[in-house]
Chain A
Amino acid sequence: QSALTQPASVSGSPGQSITISCTGTSSDVGGYNYVSWYQQHPGKAPKVMIYDVSNRPSGVSNRFSGSKSGNTASLTISGLQAEDEADYYCSSHTSSSTRVFGGGTKLTVL
């Protein structure tokens, strides 16, 4: 149950777009369309931003989008805003019927 691989940090200026990658294996990310992304502000519970690779829950801004190619999933945030500054985690179902999270990415809005 190795963690999915995410960059430790990314940054961008307001209005720009950024992409966070999430790399796994054919036993998790590459094998299932059950990849989700979570936003976590300090001291708060995580909030789902994208589910099933590219679906956006009701109430989540359309500035957030998700995709997948092979064993790597991606979260793109367009039109960066100060409120987007947070930690982001990807997660996937696995072939062992377990779940695995990425190590997390700290997004800084410059």
Chain B
Amino acid sequence: EVQLLDSGGGLVQPGGSLRLSCAASGFTFSSYAMSWVRQAPGKGLEWVSTISSSGGGTYYADSVKGRFTISRDNSKNTLYLQMNSLRAEDTALYYCAKIRGSGSLGDFDYWGQGTLVTVSS
């Protein structure tokens, strides 16, 4: 059974940093691209970032480019999102999601339960 366990969220002050983790199990983690998707309270889904299966390709939404860094450790079956220079508008529930298929273009076929990031003074 595929499982994605998001963690690392919390309350952080504007300008601060946080690192999210997503522990994966139930599939060959190193064979699949992964993404982070966020949802602000009461709002819709927003794609944040995608990383290829090898980690060699990374892609970001304009809203987080230069502040967030996606990475993965295939030996630990874990996905990360390093978030720096956090702003109030980054407050959201952050989901990690597995991408279907062999490339980075497929849909998000499995989702974590989400981890809440609150940016406030």
Q: Which residues of A contact B (CB under 8 A)?
A: 1, 3, 32, 34, 36, 38, 40, 45-48, 51-52, 57, 87, 89, 91, 93, 97-104
- List chain B residues, Cβ under 8 A from A47: 111
- A103–B42 Cα gap in the complex (Å)? 12
- A51–B109 Cα gap in the complex (Å)? 9
A91 contacts B59, C-beta separation under 8 Å: no
Kindly identify, within residues 95 to 121 of chain B, every residue whose CB is under 8 Å from any CB belonging to chain A: 95, 100, 104-109, 111-114
Least CB separation from A100: chain B residue: B47
B44 contacts A52, C-beta separation under 8 Å: no
Partner pick for B107 among A91, A97, A103, CB 8 A cutoff: A91
Q: How large is the interface on B (under 10, 10 to 19, 20 to 34, 35 or more residues)?
A: 20 to 34
- A94–B53 Cα gap in the complex (Å)? 19
- List chain A residues, Cβ under 8 A from B100: 51
Instruction: Specify which of B61, B108, B109 lies most central, judged by the most chain A CB atoms within 10 Å of its CB.
Output: B108
A34 contacts B62, C-beta separation under 8 Å: no
A34 contacts B107, C-beta separation under 8 Å: yes
Least CB separation from A51: chain B residue: B107
- A47–B98 Cα gap in the complex (Å)? 12
Least CB separation from A103: chain B residue: B44
With A98-B59, A99-B35 in contact, is A46–B44 under 8 Å at CB?
A: no
With A46-B111, A100-B47 in contact, is A34–B106 under 8 Å at CB?
A: yes
Q: A45-B112, A91-B45 are in contact. List 18 more A-B contacts (CB 8 A).
A: A1-B63, A32-B105, A34-B106, A45-B95, A45-B113, A45-B114, A46-B111, A47-B111, A48-B108, A51-B100, A91-B47, A91-B108, A93-B105, A97-B104, A98-B47, A98-B50, A99-B35, A101-B47
Least CB separation from A6: chain B residue: B44
B45 contacts A104, C-beta separation under 8 Å: yes
- A66–B60 Cα gap in the complex (Å)? 27
Least CB separation from B111: chain A residue: A45
Q: Does B89 contact A (CB under 8 A)?
A: no
A104 contacts B108, C-beta separation under 8 Å: no
B45 contacts A46, C-beta separation under 8 Å: yes
Instruction: Specify which of B44, B62, B112 lies most central, judged by the most chain A CB atoms within 10 Å of its CB.
Output: B44
- A93–B59 Cα gap in the complex (Å)? 12
